[in-house]
Amino acid sequence: MEEVKVGVFLSDCGGQIAKILDFEALTNFVKTVPGVTLVARGSEFWRGQGLQTIVDAVKTKKINRVVVAEAVPKISEVAVAKAVEAAGLNPHLVEVLDLKDHCAWPHRDTPKEATEKAKAMLLAAIEKAKLLEPIEKAEFPAVKSVLVIGGGIAGMQAAEDLADMGFQVYLVEKEPFLGGLAAKAVRFFPTDDCAICIQSPKDLAAVTQTSRKCVYRSGFSEIPNLNILTNAKIVKVEGSPGNFRVTVERKPRYVDEKKCVACDLCTIVCPVEVLDEYNAKLSKRKAIYINKPLVYPPAYVIDAKACKFHECAKCVEVCPTKAINLDQKTEQVTLNVGSIIVATGFREYDPSVIKEYHYGEYSDVVTHLELARMLDAFGPTGGVPIKPSDGQPAKRIVFVQCVGSRDRRWNPYCSSICCMISLKHATMIKEAFPDADVTICYIDIRTTGREHEYYYERARDMGVKFVKGRPSEIVHDPATNTLIVEVEDELLRRLLELEADLVVLATAMVPSEDAKELAQMLGIELDQDGFFKEYNAKLRPTETKRRGIFICGGAVFPKDAPTTSLHAHSAAVKAAKFLMNGKIVKDLKVAVVNQDYCGNCQFCPVTCPYGAITLEPKGDGHFAAKVSEILCEGCGVCVGTCPVGAIELRHLKPSQISAQIKALLSINGTSKPLVLAFSCSECGHAAVDSSGMAMMNYPANVRVLRVPCTGVIQVQHILEAFRAGAQGVMVVGCKPDGCHYEVGSQKAKQKVEMAKRLLQAYGIEPERLEMFNLVFIEGDKFAEAAKTMTEKVEKLGPLQLA
């Protein structure tokens, strides 16, 4: 192994921090540390001439470990790493520390103490640097093709974007026709245009004259690279990001899409009639059918549950293009894709569980989707809202909001779009039938989107009545076949009995039935309400914690059409960005397992937030953990969890942690007892940064040791700190539910609790150890915690270790 030569570069930030820290003393101190062959002082090292100094030192002085004391450590780290890499040194042999915000500023009132602390910080960085090892880059091949699951608005938009960008796209839809929920919704708010209208692909816009068309004439099916698989579902997902193998099961359609000319002869001869689910069972259709009038693919399908097949086969006889094949079988297709987009949408909740509304019992109580079918001019009632019980037009219509949503008994969340759906349907009815008596019973009307409030205004202008109050019961009067809605008008404080021909329930929107199964297959999470969970709601709303798998549209939460489109385009961009280079390049800052030590306990596979660890047979009848290099995010939660120390991070080895603990606590220089703060690299370290940036004061006896995530901390690290001279230990991590690695902060808390019990058993006061959950804007709280901890430890007196 080549000799370690450390170069130390001390920035005094344009002379600013030299007014506090004694740079001459620091330089002299650093020179005495074994392994250091070069010390340079300058005003900044992360750019310009300063950075060139580092590059020159690497090139000419053969420096092979670089320690930089610089403000803005994150930016400096990146800049210095890039520069040394260009100079031929592995970029991971760089250690950056911040003498300004972590030392000079917070301890400016005690410059001597600050200088002593700076020595300890430099020593820790040098000792760690000496132990750093090169980390190489790995390349994983990525197939430039994408699977989109779900053929509603979200799926179609994402598929179109990606196909336009040149990716091979597979769009899988479980129903025989594209369109999803939207295909049944007639019109959309706030544009009031047809629900079935979509954006035409860019290459075909010229051919189709305008850029927007009904799905079936948009040219959607003609997009090069786009393969549409209807009547299909995902049954198996294997492989890893960039290279998934997905098995898709296609149910037989019995009609060849390429031959069918949609002439309707087959439905004329078909003798089997069943209730049409597409039309909310308000009309009948044949066993061979097409959802009329606008669908893709424009080809019939046979309902296998209803068809008599060879007993009848009349359709086969009349079909002029011989498109029908009654012997078609279910087939499986295996797709090789680099990325997967989940766009499975949402569905209406079945409100029959809410007994007081008698849905399913009184046929004149319907849901919005059922009403939408009535309001479709091509629908079963030709656009007239009727009483399903007797087929008569409904003149008095009452809408009930928040049915099964905002209800802790069923779905506690607000479904977000039902207010607008009610306003849309109420105005559609008023427009067509101005004499209709339309009342909306609401708890709150929520019109938060662009132009939504105008919709509400228009409904009031048109004479829609609004009653603030949630009905407690719907009663049926058999004598008049009328429904009576019992509700308190809260603003009048009067009990009302509203007579209605038709009651429309604005039911909750819930995840699709197969969401759970699909999430399991894909290895991604659902939220508490059963919707697909994003990686981070604020910043990564289409990503999941599994690389290469994205989510969008109503599968994530109920959405209106504009928001669904936005979300779908975002997912498409993310998938494209992931695959555009045809390979995934990543620094191997990952966990590695020492197979000889691994005790096959299963702790780490279960704990890993990314599903990156599996148990593999060792060949001797035992198993050992194995880390997937592509899935591992390098957080180290597994390291903190392993009971035998069989896993370590390549970018933070146990020896490096120990060396830093010892170094940070080897020099005190203050009159106060030493306190060591382990902080995560994310929010915890940001809080330490911000306390310094904002010139908060805390005593110099508090030393900070940065780890990737507090989840990496083991009980033994804490004990080691006490043994090395710490009188108190702080663990500073992200908020428990805001951990950048999901569970790290919670795991650290458990470790702290466990260590406290151990300390007690050893006769050491457990309050010498505390966990803090801080974020960037809580720098003041870090300073406060550092002060309080110091005072507490001072009060407890010196720690006596046997």
State in angstroms the smallest separation of the CB of 404 from other proteins: 9
Pairing assessment for the beta strands 301-302 and 502-507 based on DSSP bridges: unpaired
Residue number, 412 or 617, with CB nearest to other proteins: 412
Residue number, 356 or 737, with CB nearest to other proteins: 356
Tokens coding 236: 């198996």
Contact call for residue 258 and other proteins (CB under 8 A): no
Neighbour count for residue 431 (Cβ, 10 Å): 12
Tokens coding 616: 């593999």
The candidate with the shortest Cα–Cα distance to 416, out of 569, 554, 536, 280, is 554
Contact call for residue 471 and other proteins (CB under 8 A): yes
For residues 42 and 458, give the distance between their C-alpha atoms in angstroms, rounded to a whole number: 68
Residue number, 187 or 406, with CB nearest to other proteins: 406
Contact call for residue 351 and other proteins (CB under 8 A): no
Q: Which of residues 503-522 bind other proteins (CB under 8 A)?
A: none
Contact call for residue 473 and other proteins (CB under 8 A): yes
State in angstroms the smallest separation of the CB of 411 from other proteins: 10
Contact call for residue 470 and other proteins (CB under 8 A): yes
Residue number, 321 or 472, with CB nearest to other proteins: 472
State in angstroms the smallest separation of the CB of 387 from other proteins: 24
For residues 153 and 294, give the distance between their C-alpha atoms in angstroms, rounded to a whole number: 15
State in angstroms the smallest separation of the CB of 457 from other proteins: 24
Cα distances from 139 to residues 294, 548, 588, in angstroms, run: 46, 15, 10
Contact call for residue 369 and other proteins (CB under 8 A): no
Among 86, 432, 495, 777, binds other proteins (CB under 8 A): 495
Q: Collect all residues with Cβ–Cβ distance below 8 Å to 61 and sequence separation of at least 6.
A: 5, 7, 37, 38
State in angstroms the smallest separation of the CB of 407 from other proteins: 4
Residue range at the interface with other proteins (CB under 8 A); choices 302-310, 325-333, 484-492, 577-585: 484-492
Cβ-contact 153, 191 below 8 angstroms? no
Residue number, 405 or 570, with CB nearest to other proteins: 405
State in angstroms the smallest separation of the CB of 486 from other proteins: 5
Among 257, 350, 486, 794, binds other proteins (CB under 8 A): 486
Residue number, 472 or 536, with CB nearest to other proteins: 472
Residue number, 257 or 486, with CB nearest to other proteins: 486
Cβ-contact 515, 558 below 8 angstroms? no
Residue number, 4 or 443, with CB nearest to other proteins: 443
The candidate with the shortest Cα–Cα distance to 409, out of 482, 351, 337, is 351
Cα distances from 46 to residues 68, 603, 689, in angstroms, run: 9, 41, 18
Q: Which of residues 598-637 bind other proteins (CB under 8 A)?
A: none
Backbone angles phi, psi at 127, to 5 degrees: -60, -40
Contact call for residue 499 and other proteins (CB under 8 A): no
Residue range at the interface with other proteins (CB under 8 A); choices 193-201, 307-315, 466-474, 548-556: 466-474
H/E/C letters for each residue in 767-787? HHEEEEECCHHHHHHHHHHHH
State in angstroms the smallest separation of the CB of 468 from other proteins: 8
Q: Where are the alpha helices (DSSP H) in 314-395?
A: 314-318, 368-375
Q: Which of residues 424-443 bind other proteins (CB under 8 A)?
A: 443
Cα 416 to chain center, whole Å? Answer: 19
State in angstroms the smallest separation of the CB of 563 from other proteins: 25
Cβ-contact 344, 512 below 8 angstroms? yes
State in angstroms the smallest separation of the CB of 624 from other proteins: 48
Among 469, 684, 728, 733, binds other proteins (CB under 8 A): 469
Cβ-contact 435, 463 below 8 angstroms? no
State in angstroms the smallest separation of the CB of 736 from other proteins: 23
State in angstroms the smallest separation of the CB of 412 from other proteins: 9
The one-letter amino acid code at 181 reads L
Q: Which of residues 386-425 bind other proteins (CB under 8 A)?
A: 402, 406-409
State in angstroms the smallest separation of the CB of 531 from other proteins: 20
Residue number, 220 or 357, with CB nearest to other proteins: 357
Backbone angles phi, psi at 213, to 5 degrees: -150, 165
Tokens coding 218: 């948009």
Distance from first CA to last CA of the chain, Å, rounded?
A: 39
Virtual CA dihedral for 794, 800, 801, 802, nearest 10 degrees? 180
Contact call for residue 487 and other proteins (CB under 8 A): yes
Residue number, 474 or 687, with CB nearest to other proteins: 474
For residues 633 and 311, give the distance between their C-alpha atoms in angstroms, rounded to a whole number: 59
Footprint of other proteins (CB under 8 A): 356, 402, 406-409, 443-444, 468-473, 486-488, 490, 493, 495-496
